[in-house]
Amino acid sequence: MGKRVTTQVSAEEIAQQYKYIEILRDYNQARISRLGRPVKYNIETFGCQMNENDSERLSGMLSEMGYSESAKRTDSDLIIFNTCCVRENAEQKVYGHLGALKKLKENNHELVIAICGCMMQQPEVVEHIRKVYKHVDIVFGTHNLYKFPELLNTAVENKGTVIDVWDSTGSIAENMPITRKESLKAWVTVMYGCNNFCSYCIVPYVRGRERSRDIEEIRNEVVKLAQEGCREITLLGQNVNSYGKDLEGEYSFAGLLRELDRLDGIERIRFMTSHPKDLSEELIYAVRDCKKVCGHLHLPVQAGSSKILEKMNRKYSKEQYLDLVEKVRKHIPDISLSTDIIVGFPGETEEDFAETLDVVAKARFDMAYTFLYSKRTGTPAAKAPDQIPEEVKKERFDRLLALQNHVSRDINDRLLGKEVEVLVEGLSKSSKTTYTGRTRENKIVNFKGSPQLVGSLVRVKIDTVQTWSLLGKLV
């Protein structure tokens, strides 16, 4: 069997979408002069950085259509929810918001409400929205985001609900507009989808199979970002280690890092997520060797017990994970490690959970994102008979958090008196003279500075340590 090769959405299809953008721009110009005010949109994004990046694409299309962004839903002409379904609480939040919009729509019949993203890839969700939230105008999924101009145009013309969700795609849409939230740092998606089917996870069902972007497209995007003044990029993929496996030719993620490291202008390159089962030595060497690639690895362990890891279909044992951490540290001693951990996977006993605590103590993560297991319909783990009661999950979660906080604090304590390199991002939220930025290892550092430092690399000597951030003085 030959390998499945990812293709690009045809240039004609992309050109078609630009035509709809133009039609809507004319439409909006007429509205702006009729109303005597800008037409505005508001996007609420749930979930991961992939979704953030997708919302930046929607923003790009909307600004070309003549919409201005608004921070408020109440004064917007178009409201979009870009949804996530990785855990149940993410879904519940969306339904809450949608219900509240009914009143807004009653008061403003021209208001367009659109909902998209991962939740929409589940047929029962679309059915529920169709039945219960009749005030929603447009429903679309993760695979046809680039078709948003066409869908919006149909909704504006027909005034009926437009529903268009695709089951899958083998293509990637390039060359659509993008308006980014930040200018110094940018997300760059390098691959879409996931083939891993961890038994608890809905992502492979809602994001489809792995599809890598063409290396030329990625390089062009990064070059353009550098020209626009961007200093840091984060390469995104559910499993970046698989980058290139679906492309014609010999490509690897390590190769991509080495390629991007050579580009001028960008100071720092980050990436996420690496699946421990196929983190190659080649990648470790690339992180070690590439000047711009930061010494930070997000390496989700998910659980400590090998029995649970097997049930999760993670394809590594506790020992293999700890060996991998050791190997990474041997080659890159200063690397900072972050992880994801799920507490209360079906069948997790107190002994299994103790193994998770043991991994946290041994691996010494700089940071851990911890989650209560959430049952996702359609995934194998949801059918497991031995689900863990909520209160047991919560109690374990609290213990895990206490241990991780202790470890994070301890690691930060060792930075006291040390000098670190900080990319200055801007003023900190709480002060007019305190500036904030991150170290290469992704630690937040606050210090007294001045506006002209924003966007540059400075050296800061750490004099105060907290669990989640560091304070210091410019040197």
Could you tell me how many residues of this chain bind ligand SAH (CB under 6 A)?
17
Q: Is 198 annotated as a binding residue?
A: yes
Residue 376's binding partner among ligand F3S, ligand SF4, ligand SAH, none (Cβ under 5 to 8 angstroms by kind) is: ligand SAH
Which partner, ligand SAH, ligand SF4, ligand F3S, none, binds residue 105 by CB below 5 to 8 Å per kind?
none
Is residue 47 within the footprint of ligand F3S (CB under 6 A)? yes
Region of 52-60, 133-141, 156-164, 200-208 interacting with ligand SAH (CB under 6 A): 200-208
Bridge partners, 436 (sequence order): 426, 446
- Annotated ligand binding at 290? The verdict is no
Q: Which is nearer to ligand F3S, 116 or 328 (CB)?
A: 116
Residue 374's binding partner among ligand SF4, ligand F3S, ligand SAH, none (Cβ under 5 to 8 angstroms by kind) is ligand SAH
Does position 457 interact with ligand F3S (CB under 6 A)? The reply is: no
Look at phi and psi of residue 426 and say left if phi exceeds 0, alpha if psi is from -120 to 50, else beta: left
**Residue type, position 443, single letter:** K
Phi, psi of 358 (to 5 degrees): -65, -40
In the block, residue with structure tokens 């863990």: 388
Q: Judged by CB, which is closer to ligand SF4: 275, or 296?
A: 275
Q: Which of residues 113-152 bind ligand F3S (CB under 6 A)?
A: 118
Which listed option, ligand SF4, ligand SAH, ligand F3S, none, makes contact with residue 118 (CB within 5 to 8 Å by class)? ligand F3S
Amino acid, res. 157: E
Contacted entry of ligand SF4, ligand F3S, ligand SAH, none for residue 197, CB cut-off 5 to 8 Å set by kind: ligand SF4
The answer to the question of whether 48 is labelled as a binding residue is yes
DSSP state of 469: E
CA dist., res. 20 & res. 41, Å (int): 17
Binding region for ligand F3S (CB under 6 A) out of 29-37, 45-53, 182-190, 302-310:
45-53
Member of 371, 397, 435, 447 binding ligand SAH (CB under 6 A): 371
> Of 24, 79, 203, 256, which one interacts with ligand F3S (CB under 6 A)?
203
Tell me which residue of 351, 254, 360, 256 sits closest to 299, measured CA to CA. Answer: 360
From residue 304, how far is each of 279, 297, 396, 398, 419 by CA, in Å? 18, 18, 13, 16, 34
Q: Which of 85, 299, 312, 337 binds ligand F3S (CB under 6 A)?
A: 85
Cα separation, 346 vs 344, whole angstroms: 6
Type and span of the H or E element at 459 = strand 457-465
294 annotated among ligand-binding-site residues: no
**Which residue, 387 or 434, is less far from ligand SAH as judged by CB?**
387
- Tell me the HSE value of 120 on the side-chain side, using a 13 A CA sphere: 26
Is 85 annotated among the ligand-binding residues?
A: no
**Residue 347: how many CA atoms within 13 Å on its side-chain side?**
16
206 binds, among ligand F3S, ligand SF4, ligand SAH, none (CB under 5 to 8 A by kind): ligand F3S
Name the nearest CA neighbour of 269 among 283, 250, 282, 251.
283
Which is closer to ligand SF4, CB of 20 or CB of 373? 373
Binding mask 216-255 for ligand SAH (x = CB under 6 A): ----------------------xx----------------
- The CB-side HSE value for 278 (13 A sphere, CA atoms) comes to 13
Residues of span 1-60 touching ligand SAH by CB under 6 A: none
Kindly state whether residue 84 participates in binding ligand F3S, applying the rule CB under 6 A: yes
Cβ within 8 Å of residue 454, ≥6 positions away: 184, 424, 425, 426, 435
- Which among 45, 24, 50, 262 is positioned nearest to 151, based on CA atoms? 24
* Inter-CA distances, 94 with 61, 89, 120, 145, 189, Å: 23, 9, 11, 19, 24
Q: Smallest distance from the beta carbon of 212 to ligand SAH, in angstroms?
A: 15
296 is an interface residue for ligand F3S by CB under 6 A:
no
DSSP reduced 3-state for 212:
strand
Shortest Å, Cβ 306 to ligand SAH: 17
Q: What angle do CA 194, 199, 202 make, to 5 degrees?
A: 50
The token pair at 57 is 């694409």
As annotated, the binding site for [4Fe-4S] cluster includes 48, 84, 118, 194, 198, 201
Binding region for ligand F3S (CB under 6 A) = 47-48, 50-51, 84-86, 118, 203, 206-207
Binding region for ligand SAH (CB under 6 A) = 86-87, 200-201, 203, 238-239, 273, 275, 300, 302, 340, 342, 371, 373-374, 376
